[in-house]
Amino acid sequence: MWSLAADMRGSLPPAQNSARDQAVVATYSPRVQPVHIVVGPSPRRNRAGGQKSPTRLPELALGQSPLTMKVGRSLQARGPAITFVILHFNDVYEIEPRAREPVGGAARFASLVKQHAAEEPLLLFSGDCFNPSMMSTVTKGAHMVPVLNALNIHTAVYGNHDFDFGLPQLDKLARETNFPWLISNVFDKITKEPLASGEVSRLFHWKGKRIGLVGLVEREWLCTLATINIEDVIYEDFVTAGRRLATDLRKQGAECIIALTHMREPNDLRLLDEAPEIDLILGGHDHHYATKEHPSGRMYVKSGTDFRDLSRMSVRVSSKGKVKVDTIDHLECTSKVPEDPEVAAIVSKHASSFSDSLTEVVAETLTELDGRFASIRTSETNLGNLITDVMRSAMDAEVAVLNSGTLRSDDRHGPGALTLRDMISILPMADEMLVLGLTGEDLLATLENSVSMYPRLEGRFLQVSGISFEFDPNGPPMGRITPGSMLVGTEPLDLQREYRVVTKAYIAKGKDGFDVLPRGKVLVDEEAAPVLPTIIRNFFLELQALNAPTPTPSRPGSAIRRAAEKAAVLDGPSAGAGAGAVGKIAPRVEGRIRMKEA
């Protein structure tokens, strides 16, 4: 078991019952060393300043389940029963409101939170905020920091999309927030520290009771991160980690254990069933609203998405240490909620700067990128090859297929500077991606649908990577692919084999005539996969890092880095080389899609 040099039960001051308790925040340390304790007027702290508490990997084989673990409660003398309020939310992306109800928006959400200020709520967040959105494609998530800081969040757990711009950027953003981030079961293999400088657990006073927090994530989305090589991290099963940490927090005096999680509902329910040491599970990753009560009385809650939903929970801790959620209210952020002026000003500022930043140069293209509808909807193009090559590499797929209707500029770009305005004109939507397990037979049918309406300028015409084929424009629809012409990589198509195919979620649902795609096995769903503009933005950032006089620290094994290394033209710095130097690209047409001659 993990051990502590200090006996936390002896270190904590007596419980208080005032409206604003003295806060004692302890960051759990798994090695035998002094524990960093912060005593102050608030349980929140500013990550930008102060000393980081030591949190390192335990000296045990991860994945080893404790066989004799007991569900213990603190042996300390307890105070009277108390009831306190928790507010919870998860998965927020767009800071501006949408057109339909509930409209959401960060300014109204801040106002909704502040309506409960008199209850002195414990505000908790279950991850995903720095991406995806079109604004984050430009800001790399920085616009979210002042919004979150205005909400008075107590603690958060990382979500998968928080990693979309890489570990250095996430670490920077997390340090700029005024609340701590948890990640209890993923560690950097080299440093043995929690990933992204997160914390393993927290222990603090709240309303006279000691509350323990852990942050747990699932392996499923960890494996999909394009900016991290799974071989560079150590993952521990969330049930094993959750049970051990909760038990140790009990020994330190915790009377209520809350797990902030970012994982799919089946995994949250498994945690609910298999970790009786945890009183309350507050989940993210899924975007629907859900609650479930275990026969033991323990609860699981998911709180919707995108500044449109907020959970209010009344939690009672008895004098004997029994935790009970008395009520759960699902609060929707509708147009009836007034906007908070402070956050409205933040939103307005970033919306304006988003427009101003579109002149930023992201790359230099040595060839003209052809995005004209007359080209991309009838033939292979170098722009389509560039986009699908990056998709395939980023999602570790064998094949990438993208409906040409996704590429919206209807223009030629370059040669010369490629700007953010160009990028957003090409990919104006936050298009969701997913990875399918698709048989060769269904892959062939997919390509038949792609060319079935040629020469009409239909958006279903696919740009492709990892495959090549020939089609006869005069053949019958759904019978135009020349038999024996289709290769996956350098091998002939095997109709019975299952291939790993990355594509757009839109056509994976059967849109545009792709009726066979819903039959594919979902290997990585759209919630776990980065959105397409983020994939391409990260690609350009890696190009810039490769081209810099002093290479920017990166993860050489990451999928995005591999895509950049393959596409980069490394023949010396581009114009304006220096701190702002950008990478060079020269994609070309390669004969992936060939038209049979008459």
Domain borders along the chain are 83-354, 360-595
Q: How many other β-carbons are positioned within 10 Å of the β-carbon of residue 551?
A: 10
How many CA within 13 A on the CB side of residue 427?
26
Query: What is the end-to-end Cα distance of the chain in Å, rounded?
Result: 74
CATH code linked to domain 83-354: 3.60.21.10
Q: What pLDDT score does 222 carry?
A: 87
Query: 3-state SS of 82-96?
Result: EEEEEEEECCCCCCC
Q: What pLDDT score does 359 carry?
A: 85
Q: What pLDDT score does 43 carry?
A: 38
| Token pair for 90 | 């998860």
Instruction: Report the CATH superfamily, name and number, of domain 360-595.
Output: 5'-Nucleotidase, C-terminal domain (3.90.780.10)
Q: What pLDDT score does 523 carry?
A: 96
Using alpha carbons, select from 233, 291, 280, 287 the residue that is nearest to residue 264. 287
Instruction: Report whether 461 contacts 454 (CB < 8 A).
Output: yes
Instruction: Report whether 481 contacts 379 (CB < 8 A).
Output: no
Which run of H or of E encompasses 212? strand 209-217
Q: What pLDDT score does 57 carry?
A: 61
Query: 3-state SS of 480-531?
Result: CECCCCCEECCEECCCCCEEEEEEEHHHHCCHHHCCCHHHCEEEECCCCCCC
DSSP class of residue 568?
Answer: B
Q: What pLDDT score does 408 carry?
A: 86
Q: What pLDDT score does 580 carry?
A: 54
Per-residue pLDDT of the chain (598 residues; tens, 9 = 90+): 232 222 232 333 333 333 323 233 333 223 222 222 232 333 334 443 333 334 566 544 333 333 223 333 444 546 789 999 999 999 999 999 988 899 999 999 999 999 999 999 999 999 999 988 878 888 999 999 999 999 999 999 999 989 988 899 999 999 999 999 999 999 999 999 999 999 999 999 999 999 999 999 999 888 778 788 888 999 999 999 999 999 999 999 999 999 999 998 999 999 999 999 999 999 999 889 999 999 999 999 999 999 999 999 999 999 888 999 999 999 999 999 999 999 999 999 999 888 788 888 999 999 999 999 889 999 999 999 999 999 999 999 999 999 999 998 888 899 999 998 899 889 978 899 999 999 999 999 999 999 999 998 889 999 999 999 999 999 999 999 999 999 999 999 999 999 999 999 999 999 889 999 999 999 999 888 989 998 998 899 888 888 766 555 445 457 777 777 777 775 554 444 344 578 899 999 999 999 998 7
